[in-house]
Amino acid sequence: MNFKCLAFSTAVLTVCLPSVTFSAIEILDTDGNLVRLDKPAERVISLAPSLTEILFAIGAAKRVVGVIEYSDFPPEAKTLPVIGRFDLLDIEKVVELEPDLIVAWKSGNPERSIEQLKSLGLTVYLADLSDLPSISKQMKNISKLTGTEREASSAITNFNQTYESLIAEYSGRKLVKTFYQVWDMPIITAGGKDFINDIIKLCSGENIFKGINQIAPKVSLEAVIVANPEVIIGSGSDQTRPDWLDNWKRWPRIEAVSKQNLFSINPDLIQRQTPRILIGTKQMCEHINKARTQ
């Protein structure tokens, strides 16, 4: 720490006050671009609900000045200015907020929007949230950019320890054929490229549509029936159990139906890549394990 000295009187008193100095912060983002800040970001805009939640989790809440639509957790996030949808930004509003850092989502925000922000001279950090370990990594990187590493430390440690404990508890168990349903009409599931496929695998489940090399493919009713899952887990649009989950009762020959293994998980706990996803992961593992023990 340096000291700045103020002479109130040449002959009488000189007071030395601490002067805080910062080293430049340099981090490579997901695309390998160097993001450089002369000091920790003080005005941050988030371009994804998951990134908004991460900013709050790492102690950077007071630095967030703008968020994307549907940034609703924690509740305090709903009081912040909204700068558009993930795929349609209000560029004028973004500029008005004078951010010194914009945190963007690689697989969610259009590349053209990111390039437009950069062309305006704005600093953009592109984050990848493709699997569970990437959440911890982004918590660490973003906390460096916002100068909240100390505040973030316990949250990161807790995430990593919980993740490792789930692996230890559920890995190596008997595989259970699992169907994860995102939506009903059309039937949408999690393909082999979706991070939910990794969560199912962590739980020693076997995603019946892991062979589809997509994130959220549409599948037919016949395909689900033929695959004959042992457990069906649905998400829906909010924390309530989706009504369409009970539609599977029309097909009692499906093992999951005959054994009453129809479960739901709040989509915010399993489809939003934030620290809370481990709550949804644990629920997923418990549902799969219930089917396993029958």
User: Could you report the per-residue pLDDT of 118-156, keeping only the tens digit for each?
Assistant: 999 999 999 999 899 999 999 999 999 999 999 999 999
**10 inside domain:** no
CA dist 97 and 91 (Å) reads: 10
Among 147, 163, 179, give the residue marking a domain's end: 163
68, 198: one domain? no
Q: Which residues contact 286 (CB under 8 A, 6 or more apart)?
A: none
Query: For the domain that residue 222 is a member of, what is the CATH number?
Result: 3.40.50.1980
CB atoms within 10 A of CB 185: 7
Judgement on whether residues 44 and 72 belong to the same structural domain of the protein: yes
- Whether 256 and 275 map to the same domain: the answer is yes
Query: Model confidence over 142-198: pLDDT tens digits?
Result: 999 999 999 999 999 999 999 999 999 999 999 999 999 999 999 999 999 999 999
* Domain annotation covers residue 17: no
Boundary of a domain, candidates 111, 145, 163? 163
Token code pair at residue 112: 């053209």
Does residue 15 fall inside a structural domain? no
DSSP-derived secondary structure letter, 99: -
Measured CA to CA, the distance from residue 3 to residue 7 in angstroms comes to 13
Distance between CA atoms of residues 89 and 68, nearest Å: 8
Whether residue 231 is contained in a domain is answered as yes
Taking CA atoms, 191 is separated from 54, 177, 179, 206, 233, in Å, by 25, 14, 10, 12, 14
Question: What is the pLDDT at residue 6?
Answer: 46
Judge if 61 and 192 occupy the same domain.
no
**Residue 258 in domain:** yes
Which one of 145, 163, 181 terminates a domain? 163
Domain region containing 145? 24-163
On whether both 159 and 29 belong to a single domain, the answer is yes
- The parts of the chain modelled with pLDDT lower than 70 are 1-22
Specify if 177 maps to a domain. Answer: yes
What the block records as the tokens of 56 is 């709050």
**pLDDT score recorded for residue 21:** 59
Q: Please tell me the distance from the alpha carbon of residue 146 to that of residue 157, in angstroms, as a whole number.
A: 18
At 16 the pLDDT is: 53
pTM above 0.85, yes or no: yes
Same-domain check for residues 110 and 29: yes
The total number of structural domains in the chain stands at 2
Judgement on whether residues 91 and 207 belong to the same structural domain of the protein: no
* Co-location of 135 and 180 in the same domain: no
The tokens describing 155, both together, are: 């949250």
| Residue 8 maps to a domain | no
186 and 156 in a common domain: no
d(CA 227, CA 173): 20
SS (H, E, C) 138-150: HHHHHHHHHCCHH
Residues 95, 193, single domain; the answer is: no
Question: Are 35 and 131 part of one and the same domain?
Answer: yes
According to the model, what pLDDT value does residue 291 have? 97
Burial 222-232 (b: 16+ CB within 10 A, else e): ebbeeeebbbb
Has residue 19 been placed in a domain? no
Same structural domain, 144 and 211: no
Cα–Cα distance between 29 and 124 in angstroms, integer? 9
